[in-house]
Structure 1
Amino acid sequence: MGHCCSKSVTFAVDDDKRPETLPSEVHSTTNGATSSNKNTPAHSFSSSPFQTHYPAGVDPSPSWTPKKFFKWPFPPPSPAKPITSEIMKRQATRKVKESPVATEVESGEAERAEPTLDKTFGFSKNLCAKYELGKEVGRGHFGHTCSGKAKKGQFKNQPVAIKIISKAKMTTAIAIEDVRREVKILKALSGHENTVKFYDAFEDAQNIYIVMELCEGGELLDRILSRGGRYAEDDAKTIVVQILRVVAFCHLQGVVHRDLKPENFLFATRDEDAPLKIIDFGLSDFSRPDERLNDIVGSAYYVAPEVLHRSYSIEADIWSIGVIAYILLCGSRPFWSRTESGIFRSVLRADPNYNDSPWPNVSPEAKDFVKRLLNKDHRKRMTTAQALGHPWLRDEKHSIPLDIQTFKLVKSYVRATSFKRAALKALSKALTQDHIIYLRAQFNHLEPKDGFVTLDNFRLALAKNMTDTMKESRIPDILIAMESLSYKGMYFEEFCAAAISTYQIEALEEWESIASTAFAYFEQEGNKVTTVEELAQEMNLGASAYNLLKDWIRTSDGKLSLLGYTKFLHGVTVRSSHNARRQ
């Protein structure tokens, strides 16, 4: 959970994280087989966010990315705390001096209480018998990566990448669990064409060794630099589609990557049309239904606002993809500052610049695409599947994948009141063709029989796409809350009502027109006389919200007004309900 403080919050930044004290060597990600050490002098900033390869004696611009773990300010401690602590220390010292026997007993108990970390993972211990280690090809915060070659088996003489993680750096149980989770996720997801292939894992007394596919095409970051800092719009589409497809697969499995950036995408070969591979699941975690993550991890330039607020889920990855798409299209970062705290303030408060060159020459569809990914309200962002159906990317060469959000929204719909379902049905009749295309794709993924779907269709769709990580993240638990679909079928018209997000539709420029059209349908078929008390009960609110709700009901006939209809669809946020209670 986040920390609350009555005073204004400022971001704490270590001196060693400031650009003014950049290290002389900046290393690429640990899974890459691409980058050698790069020298980045302090104070070398320019309008381009990327390092370029200049002749000797010419300062390059920085490619430095702030450290992955960020400090977060905590509320100031009580002034009495240090005094109390000091008194307790003095009392303990006095007792020890008076009783030497007690000292021996207490020290013995302390030694016995000291936990011993279990750093055994159960992996094979014969790495050298199967693989030959080569030179180092990449280094990161948690380890380094070497090239290698298989000595025997089906991969004999095949080049591989071997990520080496030191056990000495695993100083906590959490760090050990992170490594276990990284191997588990990489192993389960490596079947996707845009995920680096996992081959095996080994260990010895000093290290963990993760053997995987060697991607020799270099980082996406290097390709961007080789193209002068940005991609042509058509080429950018090819990159973004691959990123969205693999991240959509991760999200369907209940995995949030949490560190998406150009350095963590490698090309399989040096060919121009080589497939892109996602790497480095070291910061990834499981995103379980109805749970929010709260630890602040990632890379500063790509971190989502809700991550800084310590309450986030898979939507944080969508934001990072938006940052990557922005960089691909214009060659600069949407949020930038000289310090980590400045970057965070920019992410939380500033809007990206879409006015300066080259944005005037970028298509309106591309701008709309990026804006809908970089919405600061995570509920209004497109999902990866929706993004693949966006007009900018709509193409016969790729399909729209199954979207985990469909399951979450249908779950909420079947548990909603009949009044709320009527409001959503009216909204679904006003949807644009873009939404219909996406919803039709989702409906077809469920393989309807005789034109409708039941709980079995949802269950089989998950089973068809299931990996071990889906079980670990408990995604199938969603089906428990959809039990009522066992006894009835859902036709496409009702599916549209069930699988739409009011928040996402509110983000559209044509929202007012959609809302007016939807309200007209609602007036004909769903609107009914209601009281403030009944409306509060519909929305699971108490008497303190009555003042807020009374303006939603027309005095002329006691039915919802247009304002009331749109607010009812949106729902009362926690902040709104708190404000109502204070009135």
Structure 2
Amino acid sequence: MGTCASKPPRRNPYLPRDFPEQLQTPENEDHRDDSSAAGKPSFFYTPSPIRFFLSKKKSPARRSSGNSTPSRILKGPFPPPSPAKHIMAVLTRRRPGTGTEGGQEAGAGLDKRFGLSKRFKDRYEVGEEVGRGHFGYTVSATCKSGDRTGQKVAVKVIPKAKMTTAIAVEDVRREVRILQALAGHDNLVQFYDAFEDDDKVYIVMELCEGGELLDRILARGGKFTEDYSKNVLVQILNVVSFCHLQGVVHRDLKPENFLLKAKDDDSQLKAIDFGLSDFVKPDEKLNDIVGSAYYVAPEVLLRSYGTEADVWSVGVIAYILLCGSRPFWARTESGIFRSVLKTDPSFIEQPWPSLSTHAKDFVQCLLNKDPRKRMTAAQALSHPWIRDHNGVEVPIDIRILRLLKAYTLSSPLRKAALRALSRTLTADDLFYLNKQFRHLAPEKSENVTLESIKTALTKHATNAMKESRITDYLTWLSALRLDFDEFCAAAVCVHQLESFDRWEQHARCAYEIFDKDGNRAIVIEELASELGLGPSVPLHAVLNDWIRHTDGKLSFLGFVKLLHGVSTRSHKRLR
């Protein structure tokens, strides 16, 4: 949605210094297709500026320049066309900034009233422009009255003439709502007020004078020490986890959207630009393709994603901080998409061999292409590489609510299997779970209940949590009462454990425990009933393989399948 707060106007950092000024901003950059306004999915994509460079210089691969993040050459042929082909076709059909569509004035007939105060010019004295994006620009201003008299602020100005579609108007409305609703985090740009007049919308925020994180990356040649990278990532993960707990997904996390409060080396980071953000429930999936090319998650391209997409973007930032190059790169937009979907980032080139094993594992866990296996922001803060850095606090993880709901709806047989699995967890796994248990259990209590969860969430709640209706999700947990051992069984993430090299050992050990303590003779009909499956013959044929023919007990295959089991109640609702 354009720049925010105090982004300084500057040349495109991804292009060489001798690149023509007039070509530095692609014509179709930073926009979003409005087809969803007519009942079709909407799209947003910031295309790679590389193609404009290649159109002038027919180089087989982009050369690394002194003021840009070094690129990487992808080897080998790409797989068959990905969803990128469809996305590019949508973008080709629409060119923003023309002012007309179909021979009529763009945006004609749209209601561009936001219900905001119209006294902006009475309250603020506008200064110089400090940043510009495709959809708007940012100016400094001085407050003329009220509690902040004399204080300098940043004002994001969005011309209503740029709002040529219903989806563009809705994006601005939602950005204002989210900024108004989110409050109280040190790494979130502070929102002060919003105004409008007949021509513009004004969003007033704190002024950050230290520039973008991207500028800091480029100034240092794209490589940081592990300690400095930790300082940056702790702040990013903290604010991302906070947003997710409130039910807000940012959807455009990148170094350009983090500002430094001041010019000091240890200055505080501030997340900005919520123009593409949205509200999301713990188990809700979004489907519109939004974000910026190098940072977009695979599941976003596949049009089914949640808060995990933000964590992928943090993983890309972490990769760039530690090694100075992008994990996914190509010469064209569709190539970038295919790279994100099909290739794995390299960890064999310098400086990765000289970095710690924990640092490499940390980035790999963030860049897992399967969102179910990817760490959450809260889990990342409990990772061994980062958890002991300067007193890191592990916040409440929104994914815990989803896991507790799944456990509540599980069959007794699956609960027994999960309890066996939880007894094989490592100290690192238990560190994270203990932090979550202590957040959600009352002080000095040994049990997590519905009321204790409500109390814990209330301590961190903002108006955004009400907008996303997170508390409504808790109705599934009405009969919840878990001690620490059962809480571990409920909160263990099977998909994540499967991504570790030690998964086979985990599963085998858990099966031995289950076979000794909870396994018993079982018939197919009982197993089908436990899983909530109907009397379908094909299903019974599959379940037959889950049972040992020697004694009628659950086999190892059946045990592993049961760990991923379905809820009895959900299947009964479907029948």
Give the alignment's TM-score, normalised by structure 2. Answer: 0.82
Note the alpha carbon deviations across 1:221-247, whole angstroms, 9 max, x for none. 111111111111111011011000000
In the aligned structure 2, how far is the partner of 1:514 from the partner of 1:120? 58
SS in 2 for 1:378: coil
Distance (Å, rounded) in 2 between the aligned partners of 1:223 and 1:504: 34
Tell whether 2:168 aligns with 1:152. Answer: no
Question: 1:452 Cα deviation (Å)?
Answer: 1.3
Are 2:228 and 1:222 aligned?
Answer: no
1:321 aligns with 2:328: no
Look up the match of 2:489: 497
Question: Hey, what does 2:22 align to over in structure 1?
Answer: none
CA shift in 2, pair 1:435/1:50, >3 Å? farther
Which of 286-295 and 167-176 deviates more? 167-176
User: Alpha-carbon deviation of 1:147?
Assistant: 1.4
Question: Which position in structure 1 is the counterpart of 2:410?
Answer: 416
Asked whether the 8 Å contact 1:35–1:218 carries over to 2, the reply is no
Map Cα deviations across residues 348-407 of structure 1 (whole Å, 9 max, x no partner).
110000001111011110111111111111000111111100000011511100111111
Distance 2:88 2:263 in 1: 50
Specify the code of the residue in structure 2 equivalent to 1:349. Answer: K
Once superposed, what is the RMSD of the aligned Cα atoms?
2.7
Q: CA separation in 2, counterparts of 1:463 and 1:523? A: 41
Give unmatched runs, 5+ long, in structure 1: 1-26, 54-59, 63-69, 77-110, 578-583
Cα pair 1:179 1:282 within 8 Å, conserved = yes
CA shift, 1:572, in A, is 7.7
Matched AA of 2:492: I
| Code of the aligned partner of 1:476 | T
After the TM superposition, which residues 145-184 of structure 1 pair with which residues of structure 2 at under 5 Å, given as runs?
145-184=138-177
CA radius of gyration, larger in: 1
What does residue 103 of structure 1 align with?
A: none
Per-residue deviation, residues 408-459 of structure 1 (Å, max 9, x unmatched): 1111111211111111111111111111111111111123353112111011
For the residue of structure 2 that corresponds to 1:412, the secondary structure is helix
Task: State how far apart, in whole Å, the 2-side matches of 1:526 and 1:166 are.
Answer: 65
Alpha carbons 1:289, 1:474 under 8 Å: kept: no
Q: What residue number does 1:13 align with?
A: none
What amino acid is the match of 1:530?
Answer: I
- Which residue number in structure 2 is paired with residue 563 of structure 1? 557
Determine the structure 1 residue equivalent to 2:449: 454
SS for the counterpart of 1:379 is: coil
Tell me if 1:430 matches 2:404: no
Which residue of the partner structure matches residue 56 of structure 1? Answer: none
Distance in 1, matches of 2:505 and 2:298, equals: 29
Once the two structures are TM-superposed, the CA of residue 336 in structure 1 deviates from its matched residue by 0.4
Q: 1:509 aligns with which of 501, 506, 509?
A: 501
Matching residue of 1:537: 529
- Rounded to whole Å, the distance in 1 between the matches of 2:561 and 2:62 is 43
Q: TM-score, normalised to structure 1's length?
A: 0.81
Please give the residue correspondences for 1:470-485 in structure 2 after superposition, counting only pairs within 5 Å.
Answer: 470-485=465-480
Structure 2 portions without partners, runs of 5+: 20-52, 72-82, 90-103
String of CA shifts for 1:311-361, please: whole Å, max 9, x gaps. Answer: 000000011111110111111111100111001111111000000111101
Q: Is the 8 A contact 2:412 2:530 kept in 1?
A: no
Give 2:117's aligned residue: 124
Distance 2:347 2:441 in 1: 41
Q: 1:447 to 1:409 in 2, by over 3 A?
A: same
**Structure 2 CA distance for aligned equivalents of residues 75 and 224 of structure 1:** 30
**Structure 2 counterpart of 1:472, which letter?**
E
CA distance in 2, matches of 1:528, 1:463: 43
| Deviation (angstroms), 1:524 | 1.9
- Map of 2:327 onto structure 1: 334
Equivalent residue number for residue 433 of structure 2: 439
> Is the alpha carbon distance of 1:260 and 1:557 closer, same or farther for their aligned partners in structure 2, counting shifts above 3 Å?
same
Partner of 1:358: 351
Comparing 139-148 and 34-43, the one that deviates more: 34-43
1:207-246 aligned at under 5 Å gives the runs 207-246=200-239
Post-superposition offset of 1:179: 1.0
TM-fit CA distance, 1:75: 14
User: 1:32 and 1:532, CA in 2 relative to 1: closer, same or farther beyond 3 A?
Assistant: farther
Q: Which residue number in structure 2 is paired with residue 464 of structure 1?
A: 459
SS at the partner of 2:455? helix
Look up the SS of the partner of 2:203 in the other structure.
strand
Moved more, 442-451 or 374-383: 442-451
Structure with greater helix percent = 1
Q: Which residue of 2 aligns with 1:52?
A: 67
Q: Using CA pairs under 8 Å that are at least 6 residues apart, name the structure with larger relative contact order, 1 or 2.
A: 2
Choose from 245, 252, 259 the match for 2:245: 252
Q: Is the counterpart of residue 202 in structure 1 residue 217 in structure 2?
A: no
Q: d(CA) in 1 for partners of 2:87 and 2:346?
A: 32
What residue number does 1:33 align with? 7
Give the corresponding residue for 1:373.
Answer: 366
Residue aligning to 2:86: 73
CA deviation after TM superposition for structure 1 residue 484, in Å: 1.4
Residue in 1 that maps onto 2:266: 273
Contact 1:150/1:158, CA 8 A, preserved across alignment: yes
| CA deviation vs aligned residue, 1:239-294 (integer Å, no higher than 9, x gap) | 01100000000000000000000100010000111000000000000112432100
- Decide whether the 8 Å contact of 1:244 with 1:384 is kept in 2: yes
